[in-house]
Every structure is written in C-alpha cells, then in structure tokens.
Amino acid sequence: EVQLVESGGGLVHPGGSLRLSCGASNFTFSSYAMSWVRQAPGKGLEWVSAFSGSGGTTYYADSVKGRFTISRDNSKNTLFLQMNSLRAEDTAVYYCARHRGSYSGTLDYWGQGTLVTVSS
Amino acid sequence: DIQMTQSPSSLSASVGDRVTITCRASQDISSYLNWYQQKPGKAPKILIYAASNLQSGVPSRFSGSGSGTEFTLTISSLQPEDFATYYCQQSFLTPRLTFGGGTKVEIK
C-alpha cells in the first residue's frame, strides 16, 4: 500500500522558517509528480506547490511564491517544503499528495498531514 | 487562474436520500475535474476523476457527470459513512490545481 508520512510541522513565529518532509514508500517515487496542499483551520483546500516526476520542474501558488521552496530527494524517497518568511495566514495542516502519474492532475494518495502554526 | 465554485456550501440530508452537489468552473475545463471526500481530521480521498470515472474501491452509489464548466457529484442513496465534506478540483491547468470551496453534507 502506498504510504506518505509528513513531518516537521510545529509552532513558529511570524517571519520564521520551517522545513516539512514527506516520506514515501511502496511505489517508485521518482516516477511521480508530487504536491503540497494545505488547509487552514476550518477552511477549504489550497494547492501550494508541485514538483514534476521528471525534469525537475517546480510550481508554486502565487501566495507562497518567493517564500517557499519545494524539493525532492529521489534516493531517499522524500519530498520537502522549505517555508521561509512565514505569516499568520500560512497556518494550516500541510498535506503531501501523489499525482496519479507524471502529468496527471489527480491526487490519488495523501499523507495524514502536519500542522504548521504561525503565531507570536 | 481558474475559479471553482461549489453549491450548496452545505446541505442536510437523511440516510437513503439522493444528494447532488454542483461545481462550476470559471472557464471551460473539458473533463479535467476530480471529486474528493474529506472526513473530519482526515486527509481527502479521491472519489471521481476525469469528471465521471469512479476511483477503484469507491462505492457505486457515487457518480460524477458534466463537462466544460458545469459538473455534478451524485450520491444515489446516502449512507451514514457518507456524511463528510466534498471538494471538486480542476486539473485542466495541472499541476496548478484549484479546489472548490467544499460542500458539507450533514445529517438531517
């Protein structure tokens, strides 16, 4: 069974940084595009960033562009999200999710999420 | 950007009811539309992909239809385990995905 496990969330002050990790198992990680999706408390889902399965192309929502950096280590089956200059509005549960294929927009597996709280 | 608008934002229904949720896209997205179910404290789960294709393992009481700008998710006979929030999501601009605001299905 495909597994995605996020870690690295926590409480951080405004302007601070945090690095999220997503460990993947039971599939060929390097062959799949991966995304981060967040959900603010009591709110809906917001796509944050994606990393292509091949070619190393990255994509960002306008709300995080220039502050967040997505990366992946295919040798360790791990996806990362480096979050800098954090704001209160970045407070959310962050999910990593697998795209069905390299060019698919369907997120077929999700992790359990990790909570990021930005507060002074 | 493509905006996705769901209606209603919430609804109350009884077990056995037929439930329909609508999702509208701000531009033509062909059939690049997915539906997810999310229960409290849990990650979303894919139900329907490409507008009308049932994900493996999802009960057949769930169905999706539509193309272009208007889509529907139908639950033919609501079951207790179906009380949840449902989200549509466009994949026309993959990987820049956009979700609808969600529809919360509550017990009447």
Q: The tokens of B99 are what?
A: 């979700």
Short-list B61, B89, B90, CA closest to B74:
B61
Contact B105, B9 (CB under 8 A): no
Average pLDDT, chain B: 97
Would you state the torsion angle of the CA atoms of residues B25, B86, A11, A112, taken in this order, to the nearest 10 degrees?
-120
**pLDDT at B44 (0 to 100):** 98
Count of CB atoms situated within 10 Å of the CB of B41: 8
User: Can you list the residues of chain A whose pLDDT is less than 70?
Assistant: 55
**pLDDT at A56 (0 to 100):** 81
* B60-90 residue pLDDT tens: 999 999 999 999 999 999 999 999 999 999 9
The fraction of chain B above a pLDDT of 70, given in percent, is: 100
- Looking up tokens 């603010």, which residue turns up? A40
**pLDDT at B51 (0 to 100):** 98
Work out the average pLDDT over B28-44.
97
Contact A63, A47 (CB under 8 A): no
B-chain residues within 8 Å CB-CB of A46?
Answer: 99
Mutation for testing the A interface, residue in B33, B52, B96 having most A CBs under 10 Å: B96
**pLDDT at A102 (0 to 100):** 76
Mutation for testing the A interface, residue in B52, B89, B94 having most A CBs under 10 Å: B94
Q: Which of B32, B46, B93 sits opposite A108 (nearest CB)?
A: B46
**pLDDT at A54 (0 to 100):** 73
Buried b (16+ CB within 10 A) or exposed e, A23-47: bbeeeebeebbbbbbbbeeeebbbb
Nearest CA in chain B to A102: B95
HSE, side-chain direction, 13 A CA sphere, residue A101: 3
Work out the average pLDDT over B1-6.
96
**pLDDT at B92 (0 to 100):** 96
* A21-52 residue pLDDT tens: 999 999 999 999 999 999 999 999 999 999 98
Q: How far apart are CA A44 and CA A38, in angstroms?
A: 8
Q: Which of B55, B92, B99 sits opposite A47 (nearest CB)?
A: B99
Buried b (16+ CB within 10 A) or exposed e, B4-17: bebeeeebebeeee
A-chain residues within 8 Å CB-CB of B46?
Answer: 106-108
- Nearest CA-CA distance, residue B102 and chain A, Å: 6
- Nearest CA-CA distance, residue A58 and chain B, Å: 9
